């Protein structure tokens, strides 16, 4: 169908190794929790991207040459804001779009244990405009997806989770989006 030709998401397998995930977790600021309006069962902690993390530099290049190129988005000059998220028991999020809060949005999963049984159940569902599930992104360490936020880029987690789900959220934003979303520049880097 025409909708599939203009797909709004790009799934990534093994975009981060386990070692890279651990390296990134060393830069999480657990004293600066960011509230999540959608659901009280999510804790969001920003990463100190100004620490000059080589893993982030490599990740940005991989995103530039992968998902950003797929969507024909030039991320040069955009700001990256990244959080470490812990979705706790009871978390779910209805189908929604992130339009227009980001230019490019991504989620990379980082489960601590082997979670083969949670691949689909805790992965992100991608929906058609009439809110039918088209596909799932696997909840598997180092895997994830990137979205080009539009009014049609519906995604969510329809099942209420029964054990913690861990991930990084990445927002590539323009200076205006940075201001509109009130991101703390202390945690942002310009790409």
Is the per-residue pLDDT at 5 higher than 50? Answer: no
Task: Output the pLDDT for position 117.
Answer: 64
Q: Which residues contact 157 (CB under 8 A, 6 or more apart)?
A: 87, 91, 92, 93, 122, 123, 124, 125
pLDDT digits (tens, 9 = 90+) for 94-148: 999 988 889 999 999 997 666 666 666 788 999 999 999 998 888 888 999 999 9
As to burial, measured by CB atoms within 10 angstroms (0-12 exposed, 13-18 middle, 19+ buried), residue 48 is: middle
- Read off the pTM: 0.90
Is the per-residue pLDDT at 37 higher than 50? Answer: yes
């Amino acid at each position: 169908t025409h909708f599939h030709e203009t797909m709004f998401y790009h799934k990534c397998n093994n975009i981060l190794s386990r070692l890279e995930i651990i390296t990134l977790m060393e830069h999480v600021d657990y004293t600066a929790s960011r509230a999540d309006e959608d659901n009280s069962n999510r804790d969001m902690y920003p990463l100190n991207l100004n620490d000059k993390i080589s893993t982030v530099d490599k990740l940005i290049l991989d995103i530039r040459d992968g998902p950003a190129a797929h969507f024909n988005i030039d991320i040069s000059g955009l700001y990256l804001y990244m959080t470490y998220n812990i979705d706790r028991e009871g978390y779910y999020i209805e189908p929604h779009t992130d339009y227009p809060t980001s230019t490019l949005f991504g989620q990379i999963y980082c489960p601590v244990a082997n979670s083969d049984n949670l691949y689909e159940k805790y992965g992100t569902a991608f929906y058609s405009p009439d809110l039918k599930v088209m596909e799932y992104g696997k909840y598997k360490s180092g895997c994830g997806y990137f979205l080009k936020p539009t009014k049609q880029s519906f995604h969510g987690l329809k099942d209420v989770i029964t054990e913690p789900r861990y991930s990084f959220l990445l927002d590539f934003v323009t200076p205006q989006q940075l201001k509109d979303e009130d991101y703390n520049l202390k945690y942002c880097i310009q790409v």
